[in-house]
């Protein structure tokens, strides 16, 4: 809670302390500025908190630790003559403003004034204060509808996941659809069958002596596909033994490329992920700091960018005029278009909002480098360049397209093509940098960067100096990155600017996806959750249905639909879907009663404590019998658990096989027998290796004196040794064995903390780890390698002129950034891979002189 005290009687409330500090210096002594620290009320954490019977009324409670904050706000409200509510200009901000109004209503008898601004600058705040209004209840209703909708879905469906998939798993109305996209893409990749095809190129020498390369695009004016080596050889033979070979008509043209629009939330997240490798959540965190204000020395705290949650590409007239003056002065009047650039936002965008832009275009990245940290500077540079470029003139290119026609020996006409592109006028690329000349060329043409094509003449004869045939295979669709998933979500109308980062963070925090080399891959748990939800509730987790719900929320926000009517319509369908899901795969009928009756006389083993868990077969049986008496059916998972219990006590059930045949559960019983035998074998193998439950508990006890390192964050992922270790220990204490991957991970932890482990040699023997002698030898070898790495890095540290970043396809190769990342990794004590060491050696050789 931040309280900015003054003698004024006007109270202005924002969400965050940083925002409060920045605004304080702009409004003078007439105002007290206070921060609500986000939401002061929310739905309760451990109960539904929605009164379904009374129009889905939310049952709000104090949020988190807001008690002290609310007390201070109430005290300030009682002393105020005027109260201005200034949370962010979106649904969430409007809801915060409304909650503040509701909580403070008894402490302030005047009218609350809602003020919104899209940038934290003196002029914007003064304008907002002068044009204050009331809380927009349509926006509040839209936020409440989303909150209630998400609570109902999560609260009602997550328990199904606990019983059918895994304890602790959860479903989310939007996050689960995002996960579905990732899982379905992964299955497309796994199911993909590569298809062979061949590419053909010719090296030609024109009659004038010009040498150039062309690529086969058409045969007899039609697309073609050669899918085997025999046909490829026959084609090349026909071309080599051609009847004629000459240039066709050379197409020379000029092409314009429009400036890109300024950033919205989704495009900023996409480009920051592609170019800076920022995660969506990190992009929003850094953007928030730039929006709320950064200390600029004697100038104090200044908001550097406009509000960062927006789907609009609109630009305020004042900002457009400032950009025009800046461009003319710094780049020349020819770089400003004859007519200002205007961009059309997507349907449903908030037109009252602006795109993300710098609040003052004259604050160049260079002028701010002493005040921003490295991530702030990178993101600000991205935003500043994109905004300035968006207001600049079009880029102009000279385009050259050449076709060479070869009349083959087989009477077919082969059309080979090449293309070249050169910049006539850079326009907006003066700021964004030259884009690849190949970006606009199709895949049918060979790209010429040498300038040779410009020297050719129409209908000029050519001779073939060399041929190239290359076997290729079609590739599966790529895995989603955060950038491409956000684009997919936006194109399908799923989520909104304020939710993209949260969606991505949630599915990763829940371990439903893992980020591997910046790509999102579903985990085994993520696949199981998706399969269950799509099978049980296909409509609810359908992409189109989710998009439709977003559109209905937009209608609520626009005031054309009541949120309670929307909820009633949804909930009627939702109850039916939920009932079907609960009954899916349910087992009922005589087989259950016969099995329960047969097991009633079993003498169950006494309850047994295993670590912190107690196994009590009698208690479990009674709970199943009681459930069956109430509901007359069991879930498939419960029925299988009952059969597993019956197999354990089959000595007391001599007629079990006969009963299963008569009652119709022989197949299920056989499956239970197979599970039992497999578990027996696994337990025996684990016991022989000292990795049964008793052995594992003894193993974990050896770590009791280990003090684990604090969690670290690398590449957006949190690594917490203690949390992971505790999860493995909990699993072992519950009687479950560890998988080979889990044992491997435990071994890595043991190596890391071996000096604090009691009797490390015994632990090493069980986990098949190197002993002290082997470790000493390995450390000696590592010392040699580390000395070499240190020498290479030290040499590269002396480089004063690095090669400019080079773009190849979609990737940018930047020697300096690569060196810095390896140096940081090495200095933080993390081992370089063999591949990284090889690349480091090549880099050192490159700059050796």
Active-site positions read 307
> How far from chain centre, in Å, is Cα 295?
30
Q: Residue 400 in contact with residue 419, Cβ under 8 Å?
A: yes
State which H helix or E strand residue 732 sits in.
helix 721-733
What are the backbone angles phi and psi of residue 50, rounded to the nearest 5°?
-135, 125
What residue spans of 80-197 are helical by DSSP H?
91-104, 122-130, 137-164, 175-191
> How far from chain centre, in Å, is Cα 85?
33
> How far from chain centre, in Å, is Cα 794?
36
Provide the terminal-to-terminal Cα distance of the chain, rounded to the nearest Å. Answer: 57
Q: Rounded CA gap, 406 and 409, in Å?
A: 9
State which H helix or E strand residue 807 sits in.
strand 806-808
Beta bridge partners of 202: 214, 467
Q: Rounded CA gap, 553 and 495, in Å?
A: 11
Q: Is 148 helix (H, G, I), strand (E, B) or coil?
A: helix
Q: What is the DSSP string of 104-135?
A: HGGG--S-EEE---SS-SHHHHHHHHHT-B--
What sign does the CA torsion over 211, 213, 219, 222 have? negative
Structure tokens given for 757:
């482990």
CA distances from 712 to 445, 719, 721, 750, 821 (A): 48, 5, 9, 18, 17
CA angle 378, 91, 502 (to 5 degrees): 50
Cβ-defined contacts of 472-478 (< 8 Å, 24+) = 472/196, 472/197, 472/198, 472/199, 473/194, 473/195, 473/196, 473/197, 474/194, 474/195, 474/197, 475/192, 475/194, 476/188, 476/189, 476/192, 476/194, 477/185, 477/188, 477/189, 477/192, 478/519
Q: What is the DSSP string of 250-291?
A: -EEEEEEEPPPPPB-HHHHHHHIIIII---HHHHHHHHHHHH
Structure tokens given for 376:
């702030």
Q: Is 304 helix (H, G, I), strand (E, B) or coil?
A: coil
Cβ-defined contacts of 278-283 (< 8 Å, 24+) = 278/375, 278/378, 278/379, 279/482, 279/501, 279/504, 279/505, 279/716, 280/482, 280/486, 280/500, 280/501, 280/504, 280/505, 281/501, 281/502, 281/504, 281/505, 281/716, 282/375, 282/716, 283/379, 283/501
What are the backbone angles phi and psi of residue 631, rounded to the nearest 5°?
-110, -15
Q: Rounded CA gap, 712 and 706, in Å?
A: 17
> How far from chain centre, in Å, is Cα 120?
28
CA angle 529, 530, 531 (to 5 degrees): 95
Q: Is 19 helix (H, G, I), strand (E, B) or coil?
A: helix
Q: Residue 520 in contact with residue 482, Cβ under 8 Å?
A: yes
Q: Is 799 helix (H, G, I), strand (E, B) or coil?
A: coil
Contacts of 662 (CB under 8 A, 6+ apart): 594
DSSP state of 407: E
């Amino acid at each position: 809670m931040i309280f900015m005290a003054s003698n004024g009687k006007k109270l202005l409330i924002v969400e965050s302390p940083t925002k409060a500090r920045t605004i304080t210096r702009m409004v003078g002594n007439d105002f007290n500025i206070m921060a609500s620290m986000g939401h002061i009320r929310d739905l309760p954490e451990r109960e539904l908190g929605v009164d379904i019977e009374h129009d889905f009324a939310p049952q709000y409670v104090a949020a988190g630790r807001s008690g002290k904050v609310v007390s201070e706000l109430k005290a300030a409200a009682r002393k105020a003559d005027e109260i201005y509510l200034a949370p962010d200009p979106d649904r969430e901000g409007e809801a915060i403003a409304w909650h503040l109004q509701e909580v403070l209503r008894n402490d302030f008898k005047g009218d609350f004034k809602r003020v919104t601004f899209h940038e934290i600058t003196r002029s914007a705040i003064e304008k907002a204060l002068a044009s204050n209004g009331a809380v927009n209840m349509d926006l509040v209703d839209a936020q409440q509808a989303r909150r209630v909708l998400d609570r109902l879905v999560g609260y009602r469906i997550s328990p199904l996941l606990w019983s059918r998939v895994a304890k602790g798993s959860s479903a989310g109305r939007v996050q689960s659809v995002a996960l579905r996209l990732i899982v379905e893409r992964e299955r497309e990749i796994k199911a993909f069958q590569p298809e062979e095809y061949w590419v053909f190129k010719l090296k030609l020498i024109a009659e004038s002596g010009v040498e150039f390369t062309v690529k086969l695009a058409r045969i007899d004016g039609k697309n073609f596909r050669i899918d085997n080596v025999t046909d490829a050889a026959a084609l090349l033979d026909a071309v080599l033994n051609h009847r004629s070979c000459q240039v066709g008509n050379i197409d020379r043209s000029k092409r314009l490329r429009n400036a890109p629009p300024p950033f919205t939330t989704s495009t900023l997240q996409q480009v920051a992920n592609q170019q800076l490798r920022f995660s969506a959540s990190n992009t929003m965190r850094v953007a928030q700091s730039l929006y709320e204000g950064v200390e600029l020395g004697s100038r104090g705290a200044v908001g550097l960018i406009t509000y960062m949650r927006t789907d609009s590409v609109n630009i305020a007239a004042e900002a457009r005029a400032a950009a025009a003056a800046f461009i003319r002065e710094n780049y020349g009047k020819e770089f400003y278009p004859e007519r200002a650039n205007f961009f059309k936002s997507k349907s449903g965008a908030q037109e009252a909002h602006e795109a993300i832009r710098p609040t003052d275009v004259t604050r160049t990245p260079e002028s701010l480098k002493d005040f921003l940290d490295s991530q702030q500077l990178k993101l600000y540079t991205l935003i500043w360049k994109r905004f300035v470029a968006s207001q600049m003139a079009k880029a102009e290119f000279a385009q050259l397209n050449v076709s060479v026609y070869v009349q083959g020996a087989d009477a077919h006409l082969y059309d080979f093509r090449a293309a070249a592109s050169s910049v006539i006028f850079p326009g907006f690329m003066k700021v964004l940098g030259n884009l690849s000349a190949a970006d606009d060329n199709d895949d049918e043409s060979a790209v010429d960067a040498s300038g040779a094509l410009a020297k050719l003449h129409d209908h000029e004869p050519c001779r073939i100096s060399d041929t190239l045939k290359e076997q290729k295979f079609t590739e599966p669709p790529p895995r989603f990155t955060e950038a491409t998933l956000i684009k997919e979500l936006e194109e399908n109308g799923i989520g909104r600017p304020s939710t993209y980062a949260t969606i991505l963070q949630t599915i990763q925090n829940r371990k439903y996806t893992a980020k591997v080399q910046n790509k999102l891959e579903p985990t085994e748990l993520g696949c199981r959750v998706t399969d269950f939800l799509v099978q049980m509730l296909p409509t609810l987790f359908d992409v189109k249905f989710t998009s439709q719900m977003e559109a209905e929320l937009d209608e609520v926000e626009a005031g054309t639909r009541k949120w309670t009517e929307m909820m009633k319509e949804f909930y009627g369908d939702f109850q039916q879907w939920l009932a079907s899901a609960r009954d899916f795969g349910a087992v009922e009928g005589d087989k259950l009663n016969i099995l329960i009756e047969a097991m009633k006389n079993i003498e169950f083993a006494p309850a047994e404590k295993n670590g912190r868990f107690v196994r009590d077969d009698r208690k479990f049986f009674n709970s199943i019998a009681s459930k069956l008496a109430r509901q007359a059916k069991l879930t498939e998972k419960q029925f299988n658990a009952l059969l597993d219990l019956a197999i354990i006590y089959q000595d007391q059930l001599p007629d079990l096989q006969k009963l299963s045949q008569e009652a119709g559960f022989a197949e299920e019983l056989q499956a239970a027998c197979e599970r039992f035998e497999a578990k027996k074998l696994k337990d025996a193998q684990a016991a022989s290796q000292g990795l049964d439950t008793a052995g594992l508990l003894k193993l974990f006890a050896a770590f009791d004196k280990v003090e684990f390192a604090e969690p670290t964050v690398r590449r957006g992922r949190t690594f917490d040794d203690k949390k992971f270790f505790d999860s493995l220990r909990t699993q072992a204490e519950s009687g479950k064995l560890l998988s080979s991957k889990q044992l491997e991970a435990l071994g890595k932890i043991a190596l890391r903390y071996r000096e604090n482990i009691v009797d490390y040699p015994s632990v090493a023997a069980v986990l098949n780890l190197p002993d002290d002698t082997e470790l000493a030898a390995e450390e000696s070898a590592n010392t040699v390698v580390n000395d070499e790495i240190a020498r290479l890095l030290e040499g590269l540290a002396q480089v004063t002129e690095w090669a400019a970043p080079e773009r190849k396809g979609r990737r940018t190769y930047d020697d300096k950034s690569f060196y810095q990342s390896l140096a940081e990794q090495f200095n933080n004590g993390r081992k370089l891979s063999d591949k990284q060491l090889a690349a480091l050696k090549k880099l050192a050789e490159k700059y050796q002189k």
